[in-house]
Amino acid sequence: MKRNVLIIAKQSIKAEAMVRYWPKDKWNLYLYTFRKKEWFPGMSEQLGKNWVAFSQGKNRGIDESDLTAGLAGQSLFKNFIKAKEEQIRKQIDMKILRLYDQRLLSWAFPSLSQTETLYQETKADIVISIYEPLATNLIARRIAIKHKIPWIAYFRDHSTTYNELIRVPVLWHAQRFYDRWVHTPLTCLVGVSLPFVDILSRFYKIPRSRSHVITGGFDDSYLPQDIKERCADRRNNQAPKASETGGREARLKISYMGSLYGHRVEPLCMLFDALQVLLNRSVPCELKLWLSNSWYFFPRSVREKIEQLKAKGLPTIFGSTRIPHTEALKMQEAADVNLIVEGMRPPHSTAGTLTWKVFDLMMIAKPSIAVCAPTLPIGNYLREAGIGIDVSDVEGLASALMEIWKWKQGGICPVWYSPRGHAIEQYSFRSMAEKMSKLTEEF
């Protein structure tokens, strides 16, 4: 007899992967989410009546066509004001308040009165909540306590174990107390790395035996066929070597795509210094820098270094708007080397978090370099996959980039670049969903 598993999640890439790849042979999957919106093509057919969205009054979810029509009817001035309001709100939230439960009033509290109906519709044997927001875990808490069923919380981020952005101490302590209270009846927690799980289990006082690491992921099914095949060949170490492709690269194409926050400024400036070293050695380089939130944090030091490199003849392609994920992957696949920049002196609370970019780069399987503190787990994942290394100083970064340039010119492949297909596949979204399914069987 099949058991019923209820996933509570706002739309996110990990939640989508759970729904898309959850094994169907042992479990009936139910999804409770904030807004009834198609996450991926075929989701409605796959879930059918097992897809339960938050209802307001007698209406089940929000009609996306009505919402779109309403927005289209607004004036340009109103749209401008609304965009600025959203920008200001984000700055206040990130720089001053840093509220961790942003759906408390709009989703969690209204849902608490509907949890009995939700349980009767799903008859869940186990509930899985995916943080963030914290509201998902509050809803799961109510169901787990009232119906005495196991509850697994999957943490993609650090919640109140991260305190660097808190500017109001009273608010910070209140949120940490509330965070711990929410997770008191937790059966099992899951995190994305071993250091991260250690931090979470200590904070929530969950025995280490009930704390697990499940990391992922990537999905190449939506990539254009030609890119998908090239990536698969590289992951299995079947791509032609640089010396076999005929011709030599005119420039070393370096790419960094991501968000820019304060802790990433130092490693980004290290990249600029390493490029100065390469230019002084007459290595022709091309930098593609795409910072999706430069309006939020873009210090003068970064601008000055970019201008200095441009003056030396470095072609720089700079972008500061969000682009579709598929387009970002295409740009990364076209680069010779992709970079990850993270904190050089990370606080203990963020020691185990992983940027999603790590798994994108595993899927692409081009040479990758992480500029970060050696205590972060990113380098270990890159080395396990055989696609890259981590460096923590300008000399190490310049040396690694030089190795790639020499290889592209027909030299020896860097010893740290040899993609391992089996190891990479363990971090796919399909593998992540299968591991979560097996974990539910233990409870």
DSSP 48-61: GGGEEE-EETTEES
Q: With CA atoms as reference, report the closest residue to 112 among 136, 91, 87.
A: 136
pLDDT of residue 69 exceeding 90:
no
**Is the backbone peptide bond immediately before 16 cis, with ω within 30 degrees of 0?**
no
Please state the domain extents for the chain: 3-72+99-217+428-441, 225-425
Q: CA Rg, the chain, in Å?
A: 23
What is the value of pTM for the model shown?
0.78
| pLDDT: which is higher, 260 or 32 | 32
- In contact, 409 and 249? CB cutoff 8 Å: yes
pLDDT digits (tens, 9 = 90+) for 272-316: 889 889 888 988 888 888 877 654 456 677 777 777 777 777 767
- Beta-bridge partners for 8: 32, 129
Confidence class for position 88, pLDDT limits 50, 70, 90: low
Confidence class for position 89, pLDDT limits 50, 70, 90: low
pLDDT digits (tens, 9 = 90+) for 132-186: 788 888 889 999 999 999 999 998 777 777 665 556 677 777 888 888 898 899 9
Total residues found in the chain within this entry: 443
Residue 89 CA to residue 291 CA, distance in Å, equals 20
Calculate the CA 199 to chain-centre distance: 19
The number of CA neighbours under 13 Å toward the Cβ of 442 is: 13
Calculate the CA 251 to chain-centre distance: 30
- In contact, 54 and 35? CB cutoff 8 Å: yes
pLDDT of residue 229 exceeding 60:
yes
- In contact, 190 and 214? CB cutoff 8 Å: yes
Pull the structure tokens for residue 92: 């206040």
In this structure, are strands 59-60 and 126-131 parallel, antiparallel, or unpaired?
A: unpaired
Q: What is the pLDDT of residue 16?
A: 87
Same-fold call for 3-72+99-217+428-441 versus 225-425: yes
- Give me the CATH topology for the region 225-425: Rossmann fold (3.40.50)
- In contact, 366 and 332? CB cutoff 8 Å: yes
CATH match for 3-72+99-217+428-441 among 3.40.50.2000, 3.20.20.70, 1.10.3720.10, 3.40.50.720: 3.40.50.2000
Specify the DSSP element, H or E, that contains 416. none
